[in-house]
Structure formats: C-alpha cells, structure tokens
C-alpha cells in the first residue's frame, strides 16, 4: 500500500493543485427545441435525443397520468 514518504508542504501542494482545471461541460443545442443541452444527453426540455423523442415531456409533467383504462371496479353484483 503506497504511503507518502514525506509530508507535502503547502507550497508543493498548491503548485500541484494549480494544474487542476474545472472542465467546462460540453454543451450542444437541441435540434428540436433549440435549448442548450449537455452533449450526448437527452434534451432536458423536450426529451429529444438523436433525431427522435426519447422521453416525452421530460420536465413538463412528471406526474403519473397512466389512466387509460376505464373499468369501474365497483359494480360487481354477485348476489
């Protein structure tokens, strides 16, 4: 297991950390709605990625509106 031989002084540490750079996220523009999105990522506004809509209404309505069957579960008269 590697262990540092000496304590690194503040100056040396600061010099090493001077090479750290914040990476600017690669942005691209959504071809569908024109919003700035992260590259290689589905558009957060319209859910568009690679010439098709991957996920519709990605941010708009995040509710579960999966009510597409109209059975009434009440009127079971077995008498």
Which residues of the shown chain bind Zn ion in the complex (CB under 5 A)?
30, 32-33, 35, 43, 45-46, 48
Nearer residue to Zn ion within complex by CB, 8 or 38: 38
Nearest C-alpha neighbor of 35 from the set 26, 45, 25: 45
Cβ closest to Zn ion, residue 50 vs residue 66: 50
Find out whether 45 and 58 touch, Cβ atoms under 8 Å: yes
Return d(Cα 16, Cα 78) in angstroms, integer.
79
Nearer to Zn ion, 8 or 60 (CB): 60
Q: How far is the CB of 29 from Zn ion (least distance, A)?
A: 9
């Amino acid at each position: 297991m590697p262990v540092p031989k000496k304590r690194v002084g503040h100056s040396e540490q600061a010099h090493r950390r001077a090479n750290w750079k914040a990476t600017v996220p690669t942005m691209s523009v959504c071809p569908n709605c024109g919003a700035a999105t992260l590259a290689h990522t589905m558009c957060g506004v319209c859910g568009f990625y690679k010439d098709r809509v991957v996920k519709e209404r990605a941010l708009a309505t995040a509710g579960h509106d999966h009510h597409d069957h109209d059975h009434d579960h009440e009127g079971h008269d077995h008498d």
